[in-house]
Amino acid sequence: MAKTLSEGKDKKDYFIREAVIDDLDIIQKIYAYHVENGLGSFEELPPQSEEVHKRIIQARNLSLPYLVAEKNSSVKGFAYVSPFRNRSAYRYTLEDSVYVAPESVGIGIGSTLLSNLIQKCAALGFRQMIAVIGDSENQASINLHLKHGFSHIGVMPSVGFKFGRWVDSVRMQRPLGQGDQTTPN
């Protein structure tokens, strides 16, 4: 398994690598925190480790990256892509997801994870990446995506209801590789 050495804002090394079975529990805990405390995910009940395992297997079966950021032998964040939609015309478009452990937010882990996803997906021949961001006030995620070349493509007002309030869904998009400038292979 290849590891990519990265350096965050705190100047302490961390590695980006493919998720393995031993990462399931920490991935589940990180995601559960965001489900229970944030609007980035519209899930209201955190999935158990078995469901997280299914999601990793789904990514692997499609040869899509499912990455973790490891620091001091501990997973501090994860990121993956999934097909944007199931219809065949969407086959070159992916949706990204990035989650960072609450104690590790703001030190560059999310940025490095997203950068690695973009590079890997472009190398795989995909042409577009979509971000579906919960809550138009989620400036951390919006700014992360802007930093990596995503553009705002729309807001779907009040499509989710979580924590007793209506929540928007922000859509952002960026080309991968040659984007729509050439016909895919």
Over residues 62-99, the pLDDT tens digits come to: 999 999 999 888 999 999 999 999 999 999 999 999 99
Least confident of 5-9, 18-22, 129-133: 5-9
- Give the type of residue at 70: E
Q: Looking at beta carbons, which pairs linking 24-32 to residues 24 or more positions away fall under 8 Å?
A: 24/49, 24/52, 24/53, 24/56, 25/49, 26/74, 26/75, 26/101, 27/52, 27/56, 27/68, 27/75, 27/78, 28/52, 30/75, 30/77, 30/78, 30/99, 30/100, 30/101, 31/78, 31/99
In tens, the pLDDT along 17-65 reads: 999 999 999 999 999 999 999 999 999 999 999 999 999 999 999 999 9
pTM, two decimal places: 0.91
What is the average per-residue pLDDT within 165-180?
Answer: 97
* Nearest C-alpha neighbor of 134 from the set 97, 82, 84: 97
What is the average per-residue pLDDT within 146-171?
Answer: 97
What is the average per-residue pLDDT within 131-151?
Answer: 97
- Helices 24-37, 49-61: axis angle to 10 degrees equals 110
Residue 13 — pLDDT band, cuts 50, 70, 90?
A: confident
How high is the pLDDT of residue 33? Answer: 98
How high is the pLDDT of residue 8? Answer: 45
Residue 185 — pLDDT band, cuts 50, 70, 90?
A: confident
- Helices 139-147, 109-123: axis angle to 10 degrees equals 50
Domain ranges of the chain: 4-175
Domain 4-175 listed as CATH 3.30.70.1350: no
Spatial distance between the Cα atoms of 50 and 24, rounded to a whole number of angstroms: 8
How high is the pLDDT of residue 10? Answer: 46
The position carrying tokens 């620091």 is: 71
